[in-house]
Amino acid sequence: MSEKKRRRTEAGPPAASAALKKSQRSGSHAQGLRKQLKPDAEILASVREMYDAAQSAASSSKALTLSDLSLSAACREVSDRDVASVQLAIERAVLAMARSILAGRGFSFDVPSRAASNQLYVPELDRIVLRDKSSSRPFASLSTVRKATITARVLSLVYAVLRRDIHVTKRDLFYTDVKLFQDQSQSDAVLDDVSCMLGCTRSSLNVVASEKGVVVGRLVFTDDGDRIDCTKMGIGGKAIPPNIDRVGNLESDALFILLVEKDAAFMRLAEDRFYNRFPCIIVTAKGQPDVATRLFLRRMKTELKLPVLALVDSDPYGLKILSVYMCGSKNMSYDSSNLTTPDIKWLGVRPSDLDKYRVPEQCRLPMTEQDVKAGKDLLEEDFVKRNGGWVKELDMMVKTRQKAEIQALSSFGFQYLTEVYLPLKLQQRDWL
Amino acid sequence: MSEKKRRRTEAGPPAASAALKKSQRSGSHAQGLRKQLKPDAEILASVREMYDAAQSAASSSKALTLSDLSLSAACREVSDRDVASVQLAIERAVLAMARSILAGRGFSFDVPSRAASNQLYVPELDRIVLRDKSSSRPFASLSTVRKATITARVLSLVYAVLRRDIHVTKRDLFYTDVKLFQDQSQSDAVLDDVSCMLGCTRSSLNVVASEKGVVVGRLVFTDDGDRIDCTKMGIGGKAIPPNIDRVGNLESDALFILLVEKDAAFMRLAEDRFYNRFPCIIVTAKGQPDVATRLFLRRMKTELKLPVLALVDSDPYGLKILSVYMCGSKNMSYDSSNLTTPDIKWLGVRPSDLDKYRVPEQCRLPMTEQDVKAGKDLLEEDFVKRNGGWVKELDMMVKTRQKAEIQALSSFGFQYLTEVYLPLKLQQRDWL
């Protein structure tokens, strides 16, 4: 065997040898950042400061509402209401209909408009709200008779659900009268109308969305009376209940909530029991946030007064997901006060992290034209504009035309996320 | 006010009146079926018979394996193996490579073929298995050098994961070397190759899929050491853990497992605590079954020896989902023995149920051409053909060209599913 051949052999097969060198290289870089890490006690002290600030902010300043801004006359909002009061509201509506019919005037619903032209972003509240425009939906008009009939039917169905105090899905509702509704989008739309009309949230109508989210970490709560300890939910975590009104008695010794965009990162954090090292509650909706997860997050934030840190992909989509948690979706702006969680901090992965943490070029992905457009659109959004730090990051993203997923951090080792990246972020209070 | 007007008024607005009449009509029909219901004790006796049969079948007859059929030489299968033995297998493979290189022969992987031409449906086992054809993947060949390099890299990555005894996702694996893998489909495919080569399941490589499934009901198990009591998981249920090897100590006093296609039906069953009335374990993958849920179902079925009843939509898609649970997907046929759950009974909603339970015409949907084609294709599948009852039902579906979702039962009231339909099905032992 020639000397050259032998040397090559000793180093192992070429692929394995390249892999080895590579892992040594990234290993040494990771080692460098790892050395910057202070003892956990010091990191925790920095986290506790953030926690204290959130606690005192929550107790000293009452959250602003529409009435504080003297906007309650010009804007419309719904609130959570108990079963009895929603039933009463429906009874009143039906009685008013009956009286109107008896007076020979037929009947008509006064339905708040949910169109874009009736929506308003209120910077003081940092969310979208609904103005007070509404339109009449008379039964005795060819153009509205169908919608008026559907409205009456949905009112009667919701009333039946409330009387039994059970929960149903939008799909269940649709199936009770396919002939009338024809298409689920019609019953869904009227359901939102009914929420607005009665001034209560959709959850108060006991119509729920299906659940996608999971939670794990330092949280104890009751789900329909069952006591759930989220430190004892293994790696799979606890599925977030679809019906928030059956959730109660939240207790926690966490210092913060870690909101994670993706399932894979959630699994890493759960398996490494990250919450034992840094007391926190870890929650994910596995992508686009569903209503149940948004309600659950808001509930945790308001009751436990915990700061919320977000870990999302470094792309426009990650920020869009943050915006839905923070400002709500346009479709449900009438319920923005109950669905949104203000003041979420963007922990990572941020465009500036890519260089700071030396994410290898091959783990970054080029942005498509569509991505770049989405990024530029976000730069026009009020909720981005009011945060200088976010504008800078987003500018950098659009200019470098590079994006990266949370998983890109795996290139330094599978546990780099939990062992180096997140602890360092917390230590350096590196959130925006 | 005229007499006519008054009469109309007394009956309420027309929409509400129509709704009332309708609910009375379907109410009386539901009432009729409800009257057929015997006391729960009698229904339970019928369920217990099924339970006993499943228990004795499981203990008397060992499940058939490839070697029982003298097929183990001609076919290839993988099995669950512990961390140490998979590590050893990788070390052996690498040593063999080294020896081959030292002998001046370079190195090459012997990779089992996972192509359709190498797959076989074994009726005795009722699942798809892989034949024993394999191909050589030499490093010193232009056409295979890339794949051989990727294979070596994946072996080294999996080895690193096993050494730390952590779990990672396929996406994590891809991100460790984007430059080499280029595209996740490439690292995914080689990962399956590596499973086959080492003769172990993908779970044994500690590479997991993300979880979608939830479970609730009469089951206690440990998830990574935490004891989970699924009767105390509220309405949200427990998320099924992604890593089946951390699941253990299954205990249950259930008489059967109820496998549900959809989230909405799961929620109804969980909220009504159906498992308290009829002791069962309720599980759903929320649509197309993921690997974690399939592994979990199989685990429950084999360890607890419980019969499995399936509640799916009455359309070809519902049956397709059943087939994935029972026979596996073609893509992972090398692992069919660990992923499949034989002998699942089709409880409902079946095409014959639509008339039997008088599901209103407007709640049935016309099948599209594509649906009809999918139905006809299913009629050609071995796993359908061997069950006469299924053939009949599927024939009826294709002929009537009607389909219906589980939610269609909501037209008789939101709790019709849990209070009438399912109890009656159990009482009449109406499964195929």
CB contact under 8 A, A101 and B13: yes
B113: domain CATH number is 1.10.10.10
Determine, yes or no, domain membership for A68: no
Shortest distance, CA A394 to any CA of chain B (angstroms): 23
A 292-331 near B (Cβ less than 8 A) = none
Which pLDDT score is estimated for B26? 52
Q: How crowded is residue A312: how many other Cβ atoms within 10 Å of its Cβ?
A: 24
Shortest distance, CA B230 to any CA of chain A (angstroms): 10
The mean predicted confidence, pLDDT, of chain B is 87
Question: B401 pLDDT band (50/70/90 cuts)?
Answer: very high
A 80-99 near B (Cβ less than 8 A) = 94, 97-98
CA nearest A322: which of A338, A345, A305? A345
For residues B346 and B352, give the distance between their C-alpha atoms in angstroms, rounded to a whole number. Answer: 12
CA dihedral A416, A421, A426, A427 (to 10 degrees): 90
Contacts of A197 (CB under 8 A, 6+ apart): A93, A109, A110, A111, A112
CB B234 within 8 A of CB A225: yes
For residues B122 and B120, give the distance between their C-alpha atoms in angstroms, rounded to a whole number. Answer: 6
> In this structure, are B184 and B255 located in the same domain?
no
Among positive and negative, which fits the CA dihedral B382, B388, B393, B399?
positive
CB A313 within 8 A of CB A405: yes
> In this structure, are B412 and B269 located in the same domain?
yes
- For B351-399, how does the pLDDT look when each residue is reduced to its tens digit (9 = 90+)? 999 999 988 888 888 999 999 999 999 999 888 888 999 999 999 999 9
Shortest distance, CA B419 to any CA of chain A (angstroms): 13
> In this structure, are B380 and B283 located in the same domain?
yes
CA nearest A51: which of A254, A251, A219, A255? A255
Number of Cβ pairs < 8 A linking chain A and chain B: 245
Q: How crowded is residue B24: how many other Cβ atoms within 10 Å of its Cβ?
A: 11
Both tokens of B16, joined, read: 């509400």
> In this structure, are B145 and B216 located in the same domain?
no
Both tokens of A384, joined, read: 């981005």
CA nearest A198: which of A348, A320, A345, A92? A92
Chain B residues near residue A176 by CB distance under 8 angstroms: 410-411, 414
Both tokens of B141, joined, read: 């060949």
Domain stop point among B208, B225, B249: B208
Which pLDDT score is estimated for A338? 79
Determine, yes or no, domain membership for A32: no
A 225-254 near B (Cβ less than 8 A) = 225-228, 232-243, 246
Length of chain A: 432
For residues A400 and A402, give the distance between their C-alpha atoms in angstroms, rounded to a whole number. Answer: 5
Which pLDDT score is estimated for A8? 39
Determine, yes or no, domain membership for A316: yes
Q: C-alpha distances in angstroms, A299 versus A77, A232, A296, A310, A338?
A: 18, 21, 5, 16, 9
A287: left (phi over 0), alpha (psi -120 to 50) or beta: left
A 127-156 near B (Cβ less than 8 A) = 139, 148-150, 152-153, 156
Both tokens of B125, joined, read: 């086992």
Which of B150, B264, B411 is closest, CB to CB, to A176?
B411
- For B65-105, how does the pLDDT look when each residue is reduced to its tens digit (9 = 90+)? 777 777 777 787 788 889 999 999 999 999 999 999 999 99
DSSP structure string for B312-353: --BSHHHHHHHHHHHH--GGGGGGHHHH----EEEEE--HHH
A54: burial class by Cβ within 10 Å (0-12, 13-18, 19+)? buried
Question: B6 pLDDT band (50/70/90 cuts)?
Answer: very low
For residues A125 and A121, give the distance between their C-alpha atoms in angstroms, rounded to a whole number. Answer: 8
Determine, yes or no, domain membership for A213: yes
Determine, yes or no, domain membership for A11: no
Determine, yes or no, domain membership for A348: yes
CA nearest B408: which of B290, B312, B289, B284? B312
> In this structure, are B151 and B288 located in the same domain?
no
Q: How crowded is residue B165: how many other Cβ atoms within 10 Å of its Cβ?
A: 11
> In this structure, are A193 and A243 located in the same domain?
no
Which of A242, A264, A360 is closest, CB to CB, to B169?
A264
Pairing of strands A127-131, A119-122: antiparallel
Which pLDDT score is estimated for B62? 66
Beta bridge partners of B256: B280
B214: left (phi over 0), alpha (psi -120 to 50) or beta: beta
Report CA Rg, chain B: 26
Alpha carbon B190 to chain centroid, angstroms? 24
For residues A258 and A275, give the distance between their C-alpha atoms in angstroms, rounded to a whole number. Answer: 9
For residues A404 and A106, give the distance between their C-alpha atoms in angstroms, rounded to a whole number. Answer: 60
- For B176, which residue in chain A has the nearest alpha carbon? A411
Q: C-alpha distances in angstroms, B273 versus A310, B48, B253?
A: 35, 19, 15
Which pLDDT score is estimated for A370? 93
Report the SS3 class of residue B389: helix
DSSP structure string for A363-422: GSEEPPHHHHHHHHHHHTSHHHHT-HHHHHHHHHHHHHTEEB-GGGGGGG-TTHIIIIIH
Catalytic, B121? Answer no
Chain B residues near residue A243 by CB distance under 8 angstroms: 235, 271
Give residue for tokens 């037929």: A106
Which of B9, B169, B234 is closest, CB to CB, to A226?
B234
CA nearest B219: which of B233, B230, B234? B230
Q: Which of A70-79, B111-120, B216-225, B330-339 has the lowest mean pLDDT?
A: B330-339
For residues B98 and A286, give the distance between their C-alpha atoms in angstroms, rounded to a whole number. Answer: 43
CB B255 within 8 A of CB A248: no
Check whether the bond before B291 is cis (ω within 30° of 0).
no
For residues B237 and A212, give the distance between their C-alpha atoms in angstroms, rounded to a whole number. Answer: 11
Q: Does B24 touch chain A (CB under 8 A)?
A: no
For residues A417 and A77, give the distance between their C-alpha atoms in angstroms, rounded to a whole number. Answer: 40
- For B176-213, how does the pLDDT look when each residue is reduced to its tens digit (9 = 90+)? 888 889 888 999 999 999 999 998 988 899 998 777 89
Pairing of strands B256-260, B280-284: parallel
Separate counts of helices (H) and strands (E) for chain B: 19, 18
> In this structure, are B136 and B232 located in the same domain?
no
Contacts of B365 (CB under 8 A, 6+ apart): B402, B403, B404, B405
Q: Does A208 touch chain B (CB under 8 A)?
A: yes
Of the ranges A164-178, B297-311, B329-343, which is most confident? B297-311
CB B190 within 8 A of CB B229: no
Report the SS3 class of residue B43: helix
Which pLDDT score is estimated for B64? 74
Active site residues of A: 175
- For B403-413, how does the pLDDT look when each residue is reduced to its tens digit (9 = 90+)? 999 988 888 88
Q: C-alpha distances in angstroms, A113 versus A117, A134, A189, B107, B372?
A: 9, 5, 11, 71, 42
> In this structure, are A159 and A252 located in the same domain?
no
Q: How crowded is residue A224: how many other Cβ atoms within 10 Å of its Cβ?
A: 19
Which of A149, A172, A264 is closest, CB to CB, to B410?
A172
Contacts of A305 (CB under 8 A, 6+ apart): A54, A55, A58, A59
- For B149-180, how does the pLDDT look when each residue is reduced to its tens digit (9 = 90+)? 999 999 999 999 999 888 888 888 888 888 88
Both tokens of B390, joined, read: 């299924």
Chain A residues near residue B160 by CB distance under 8 angstroms: 23, 414
CB A16 within 8 A of CB B152: yes
Domain stop point among A182, A208, A234: A208
Q: How many domains does chain A have?
A: 2
Chain B residues near residue A409 by CB distance under 8 angstroms: 175
Percent of chain B past pLDDT 90, that is, above it, reads: 55
Exposure string over A134-172, b if 16+ CB within 10 A, otherwise e: beebebeeeebeebbbbbbbbbbbbbbbbeeebbbbbbb
Domain stop point among A176, A208, A240: A208
The torsion angles phi and psi of A272, rounded to 5 degrees, stand at -80, 0
> In this structure, are B321 and B391 located in the same domain?
yes
Q: Does B274 touch chain A (CB under 8 A)?
A: no
Report the SS3 class of residue A314: strand
Length of chain B: 432
> In this structure, are A296 and A397 located in the same domain?
yes
CA nearest B288: which of B368, B208, B212? B212
Determine, yes or no, domain membership for B7: no
Below-70 pLDDT ranges, chain A: 1-30, 61-63, 330-331
For residues A311 and A353, give the distance between their C-alpha atoms in angstroms, rounded to a whole number. Answer: 12
CB A327 within 8 A of CB A127: yes
Which pLDDT score is estimated for B169? 87
For residues A173 and A194, give the distance between their C-alpha atoms in angstroms, rounded to a whole number. Answer: 13
> In this structure, are B240 and B322 located in the same domain?
yes
* AA letter at B288: Q
Give residue for tokens 């808001």: A298
Q: Does B5 touch chain A (CB under 8 A)?
A: yes
- For A412, which residue in chain B has the nearest alpha carbon? B176
> In this structure, are A224 and A286 located in the same domain?
yes
Which pLDDT score is estimated for A300? 95
Determine, yes or no, domain membership for A28: no
CB contact under 8 A, A271 and B224: yes
* Domain extent for A178: 75-208
DSSP structure string for B190-232: HHHHHHHHHTB-TGGGTEEPPP--EEEES-EEEETTEEEEGGG
Report which DSSP code applies to A244.
Answer: G
